Amino acid sequence: MAALTHTPSGWTIGGKGPLAVMAGLNVLEDEGLALEVGTELKRICVSLGLPYVFKASFDKANRSSITSYRGPGLETGLKILSSVKAKLGVPVVTDLHEPAQAEPVAAVADIIQLPAFLVRQTDLVIATARAAAREKALIQAKKAQFMAPWDAKNILTKIAEVAPETGVIMCERGVSFGYNNLVVDMLAIPEMKKLGCPVTIDATHAVQLPGADPRTAGASTGGRRDGVAIIAKSAIAAGADGVFLEFHTDPDKALCDGPSCLALSGAEALLSTLKSIHSAANG
């Protein structure tokens, strides 16, 4: 499989290239925090020689509770992402939830993410594919929690029918298993790579415990923070081309999904280890 390149920025993933990194915040809280986290992650990735993309959501549209923090919204969120992109000189990735958001998101994001819960929504996929093609953006499609890895071909087919030149990355984030649990099948990664696209691992969301945060009596998602590194290392050993991670300066005070979030202070050690595993797996 040849490497996939975002032409405007030169960011690459797959092939014989280095481990690609998508990392940042779960959801935007304010511009200052986004710049602080992005600056440190860029520094680390530059020092390790890893292609870096800043990630953050402008809206978390599928919260467990209507009172949960969702983010600054489309307009303000895209302004923050534009500022991070310009000030740090890095590409950005963010997700969208409605077809009408595709064009404004594509005008800012270098990689547009289709959320796992929505990846089969044809109108959203078509709108995203068309907008990505116009702006020369890439698409990252998260495999749904209810989908077998080989069924991801249908997502790729939909996009190719609308925008055949648009590059697509598939993302593994676990499969629903019983109640309040997700399980990552590492065999899913080589299965999706057989479809001819790069594959990333969303190690942060893979450790979620949906609807099982004891702090809110199930009104928010719990998580197993200690498992993030385990899943990331395992997935890269299994052939993942990139890693998708969420950090915070104080994870326990993060406004969304704190139990799954990693401390920014540990980013350098983790990414250094992941680089070594990727190099060994692709030796």
Active site residues: 26, 60, 257
How many Cβ atoms are within 10 Å of 255's Cβ, its own excluded? 18
Distance CA 68, CA 57 (A): 14
Distance CA 37, CA 264 (A): 7
Query: Terminus-to-terminus CA distance in the chain, angstroms?
Result: 15
Distance CA 283, CA 278 (A): 8
C-alpha 42, offset from chain centre: 16
Pairing, β 222-223 against β 242-248:
unpaired
C-alpha 186, offset from chain centre: 17
